[in-house]
Amino acid sequence: MRVLPDEELPSPGDRGGVAYLFWLARRQWPTMLCGVAFDLVWLLGLAVTPWAVGRAIDDGILGGDYDALLRWAGLLLVVALVRAWAEAMRNRAGISNWNQAAFRSVQLLGHHLTRTGGAVNRTHAVGEVLAVQGDAFTLARAYFLLGGLTSAIASYVVVAVIVLRTSVPLGVFVLVGVPVFGALVSLVARPLHRAQQAQRKASGEMTEVAADAVAGLRVLRGIGGEPQFLERYRERSARTLRTGWAMARPVALLEGLQVLLGGILVVVLTWVGGVLVVRGDLQPGELVTFYGYAAFLLTPVNLVADNLMTVVPAVVGAGRLTGLLRTRSATHDVGTAAPPSPGAALADAGTGVEVPPRGLVGLVSSDLVEPRRLLERLARTDDAALATSPVRWGGVDTRDIPLRDVRARIMLVDSHPHLYAGTLRDAVDPFGRHTERQVLDAVDAASAHDVLDSRPDGIDGELLEGGRDLSGGQRQRVGLVRALLADPEVLLLDDPTSAVDAHTEDRIAAGLVTYRRADSATVVATTSPVVLSRADVVHWFDDGRVLTGTHTELSADAGYRRAVLRAQATSAVGDGDG
């Protein structure tokens, strides 16, 4: 079996949903070809069986030839064994095709999300992204059934030829009847497609509401917003239910047509065959053969209908997936300039702020909007923002430097870092590069020992997804530990102490100064006077102007005093986390 996922997977480009399905097929054509071959052997074995049974009856039983009966019985045994082997192999190939298509789609989606970052969040809701991940497995099922569709067509042709050689009227009926019935089944495809799209949209909206609630459950409970959420969720759930019922109608019609049309085939073929036997135009064994073919033809018809019910949601899901894959990253990794040597300063042209190669730098404004924008420019999260306010690193425009070099040496940490499920050790040291002592030193610098104490197993204790079993301040400090262990040359922190009390804030500020190595820079966007008092330099953003100095010097400015004193009051009555 093929090892998945692929180490290297090229981009599908700007393909639409149908083109993407063909692109996936080209990536796995060997196993798809095997699947078609095994399906063909399996169905042809089914097709040959009625013919061999009829010959055994006519030549062996009615003809009184015991040897002929044994020969045909032996052939039936061989066909049954080959058919059993082919059925096992077709399932193996089908599962392989399913897995390849699903894992490649998930792999493409995962890589795209990590490359595009926040650009996806601006164009797609969280619930929609989660739903698209499910679409990857939905569209993959089409590759499991594709071999059956191809072999159904081939076996239909083989059966039609055999029947024509036996009886022209019955052969014509098979040749004409099956395509007509297939066309009738396809009439259901369009309403089914529309219903699938509506149900898919409603389900995505419901998932979005649920995902938002899980992310903000603590806040919802704190402000008493649970009733409003429940009402929104009930409304979205009811809409999903209605679209599900609407989709059930064409699905039920399609399944009903399968039974009805297959039954018509059986009845007509058996009735016409019986008339021909009475007239002497057919042997009894040939009638048994025709009856077997009538039952056999249910399989190709059902396979066509199954493929139709699978292909429709596959096209819908592929369209959603490619729509997300067409989201463009906010950064364009086309630079080839060499990164500066260690110790280079970062300079923002728009504000005139310069980040020295070492020390603690504070960024302050009344609402932290401008400092956050500056942090994003320094971290190069959006090249469009750098068009009007470029950032130079050692005199080189950061857009001209390969993105991997920027990411390796400059790190931006959000005020609400995401934590994945797993152990606390995995959360702060995901690559396992640090010793126990190094991890504990970072924990001490971030004043996060209470997080360790809250776990029965300490550093090896388990965390829930998103750190839902931690307070807001604890999540902030675990994220800070992770950032400190990453040890970037330039560490950009967005309000890292907003959810802790003043005493914890003071310990964190002291830890930042002592922990960060002498040849590294730390930039903090904050209004905390505790943190700012320890900064080597502070930049105060005030109504379009930037004032620079120490915390003590800038405290002479009335606007600066109001901003930091308000923050101090807020911290004093904060959540007390620490």
Residue 310: inside a domain:
yes
For residue range 146-174, list pLDDT tens digits in order.
777 778 888 878 877 877 887 787 777 76
| 74 and 140 co-located in one domain | yes
Domain of residue 196, CATH code: 1.20.1560.10
What element of type H or E holds 359? strand 359-364
- The Cα 287–Cα 250 span in angstroms is 36
Domain at 505, CATH number: 3.40.50.300
For CA atoms 237, 241, 243, 244, give the dihedral sign: positive
Mean of per-residue pLDDT scores for the chain: 84
Question: Does residue 217 lie within any of the structural domains?
Answer: yes
In this predicted structure, the answer to whether residue 225 has a pLDDT above a threshold of 80 is no
Is residue 551 located within the same domain as residue 453?
yes
Residue carrying the six token digits 């009538």? 294
Whether the predicted pLDDT of 398 surpasses 90: yes
Do 376 and 302 lie in a common domain? no
**Is 59 a domain residue?**
yes
Decide if 138 is inside a domain: yes
- Would you say residue 549 has pLDDT above 90? yes
215 and 269 assigned to the same domain: yes
Tell whether the model's pLDDT for residue 533 goes beyond 90: yes
Domain check: are 71 and 195 in the same one?
yes
For residue 188, the model assigns a pLDDT of: 67
Measured at the CA of 28, the angle between CA 27 and CA 34, to 5 degrees, comes to 155
Distance in Å from the first CA to the final CA of the chain: 52
Q: Average pLDDT of 363-381?
A: 93
Indicate whether 210 and 351 sit together in one domain.
Answer: no
Mind listing the pLDDT tens digit for each residue in 122-132?
777 666 777 78
pLDDT tens, position by position, 48-59: 888 888 888 888
Inform me whether the pLDDT recorded for 502 exceeds 90.
Answer: no
**CB–CB of 112/325 below 8 Å?**
yes
pLDDT at 395 over 60: yes
- If asked whether residues 188 and 119 sit together in one domain, one would say yes
Q: Domain check: are 266 and 354 in the same one?
A: no
> Has residue 133 been placed in a domain?
yes
Average pLDDT over residues 463-480: 90
pLDDT bin (cut points 50, 70, 90) of residue 437 is very high
What's the total number of domains in the chain?
2
- Domain encompassing residue 376: 346-572
Of the segments 177-186, 278-287, 540-549, which one has the largest average pLDDT value?
540-549
Q: What's the CA gap between 43 and 95, in Å, rounded?
A: 18
* pLDDT value for 578: 57
pLDDT digit string (tens) for 320-347?
899 888 888 888 888 889 999 998 999 9
- Whether 175 is covered by a domain: the verdict is yes
- Distance between alpha carbon 426 and the CA centroid of its chain, in Å? 22
Q: Measured between alpha carbons, how far is 378 from 386 in angstroms, rounded to an integer?
A: 9
In a domain, 7, yes or no: no
Q: What pLDDT does residue 239 have?
A: 82
| Residue 374 confidence (pLDDT) | 96
| Same domain (yes/no): 290, 375 | no
Average pLDDT of the segment spanning 535-561? 93
Of the candidates 293, 325, 357, which is a domain's last residue? 325
221 in the same domain as 152 = yes
Asked if 353 and 321 sit in the same domain, the reply is no
pLDDT for 213 equals 63
Residue 367 belongs to a domain: yes
Residues 286 and 199 in one domain: yes
- Residue 315: its H or E element: helix 298-325
